[in-house]
Amino acid sequence: MKNLTTPYYLIDENKLLRNLKIIQQVRERSGARSVLALKCFSTWCVFDLMHEFLDGTTSSSLFEARLGREEFGKEVHAYSVAFSKGDIEAVREIADKVIFNSVSQLTRYQDAVAGMKLGLRVNPGISYSHFDLADPARKYSRLGVTDTTELARVAPLLSGLMFHFNCENDDFENLSNAIDHIGRHYGVFLHNMEWVSLGGGLFFTKDGYPLDRFCEKLQRFAETFGVQVYLEPGEATITDSAELVTTVLDVVHNETDIAIVDASVEAHMLDHLIYHTTPRIAAPGAGPHRITIAGRTCLAGDVFGEYALNTRLEVGDEVRIADAAGYTMVKKTWFNGLPMPSIVVRRRDGSVELVRQFDYQDFKHDLS
């Protein structure tokens, strides 16, 4: 776009709105509440829009909980794999629900959060994930309680349970069977709870997802156990709502053409490097011209992928990396001292706003 210097993340509110409207449908038809998973997306310049369609936020740290309270409002669910004493002292002032990862954490801090709505994460021993790295029920997982005897002992302290056991699950039949499994194995506890969270990682905003059956399943589960169901959408909220806009700085040849852009997989879209996945290209479109697109850090594997495009890339050409909202801005780094991408928003009325730029002083003061 004119007058904007690449690289920048471009968030499109109208594309974001498409996901939010689906979430609103699920809330209205199933009765389930949805809280934004800040670990996936914390870019609060669009929270005013998201606030209209979500019930609050869920966090994985004190800082996320505080951001949810200050910039989003509504409900604040404060979870952490392990709280420190200082975390608890701060969280109890801002959270509506405090969710512990273990029985030991719950019993250690129960007096400090007396009178609050307390939850406990349960590991149901089943999960859906394409990657072992992200599998909440992987062998020796530290995420959630597995011992039902321990759970029974502390259940009187709790108002709810959290089951976060999915990662990018777009298979409704799998999810339906998993919800049935939870009902069978934990029903004795659920009947005595006020709420239950089925966590995030549910790709119910995907085209073609059976929303009617999904809503019916959630509603029936809530009615069976007399609980308020919560969902924790992260990727489902922001999928396909943003692009990483870059410019080609050089084209080199080593058996194949390689275009080097002014951004980086490692610094700006780290999950693709971690999970060995290849991002899609939003523009240029597909065509016969094969080329590798790479980042400009010194890491040899800083490569977006190999593509077939409708044009030969040259220095100065723009390349837009698709689906660049989730787990990007929350994970971006200063590796190699590369400038961080700016944050730009295309508002619902079509206007484009440069929300934040990062410069040398940000780099310098981030480090000492």
Task: Tell me how far apart the alpha carbons of residues 126 and 235 are, in angstroms, rounded to a whole number.
Answer: 21
Across the range 215-244, mean pLDDT stands at 98
Across the range 208-215, mean pLDDT stands at 97
Residue 163 has pLDDT above 80, yes or no: yes
Grade residue 3 by pLDDT with cuts at 50, 70 and 90.
confident
pLDDT of res. 146: 97
CATH 3.20.20.10 domain extents, the chain: 13-238
Tell me which residue has tokens 């321990």: 150
Grade residue 36 by pLDDT with cuts at 50, 70 and 90.
very high
* CA 75 to each of CA 31, 35, 107, 144, 258: distance values in angstroms, whole numbers, following the listed order: 16, 8, 24, 22, 47
Name 101's bridge partners.
none
Q: Are 250 and 291 in contact (CB under 8 A)?
A: no
Residue 1 has pLDDT above 70, yes or no: no
Question: What pLDDT, in 10s, does the model give residues 327-346?
Answer: 999 999 999 999 999 999 99
* CA 219 to each of CA 21, 160, 286, 317: distance values in angstroms, whole numbers, following the listed order: 19, 17, 42, 50
Q: Which of 3.40.50.261, 3.30.70.1450, 1.10.10.1800, 3.20.20.10 would CATH assign to domain 13-238?
A: 3.20.20.10
pTM of the model: 0.95
Residue 215 has pLDDT above 80, yes or no: yes
Q: What percent of the chain is modeled with pLDDT above 90?
A: 99
Question: What pLDDT, in 10s, does the model give residues 102-123?
Answer: 999 999 999 999 999 999 999 9
Residue 82 has pLDDT above 70, yes or no: yes
Residue 2 has pLDDT above 90, yes or no: no
CATH 2.40.37.10 domain extents, the chain: 241-367
Half-sphere exposure of 161 (CA within 13 A, CB side): 28
- Could you give the 3-state DSSP secondary structure of residue 321? strand
Question: What pLDDT, in 10s, does the model give residues 46-76?
Answer: 999 999 999 999 999 999 999 999 999 999 9
Task: Tell me how far apart the alpha carbons of residues 339 and 250 are, in angstroms, rounded to a whole number.
Answer: 17
pLDDT of res. 323: 97
Mean pLDDT over the full length of the chain:
97
Name 266's bridge partners.
none
Task: Tell me how far apart the alpha carbons of residues 368 and 364 are, in angstroms, rounded to a whole number.
Answer: 7
Task: Tell me how far apart the alpha carbons of residues 94 and 56 are, in angstroms, rounded to a whole number.
Answer: 13
Six-digit token pair at 8? 């920048």
Task: Tell me how far apart the alpha carbons of residues 333 and 319 are, in angstroms, rounded to a whole number.
Answer: 21
From the number of C-beta atoms within 10 Å of its C-beta (0-12, 13-18, 19+), residue 228 rates as middle
Written out in words, the top-level CATH class of the domain with range 241-367 is mainly beta
Cα dihedral across residues 55, 325, 268, 3: positive or negative: negative
Task: Tell me how far apart the alpha carbons of residues 268 and 271 are, in angstroms, rounded to a whole number.
Answer: 9
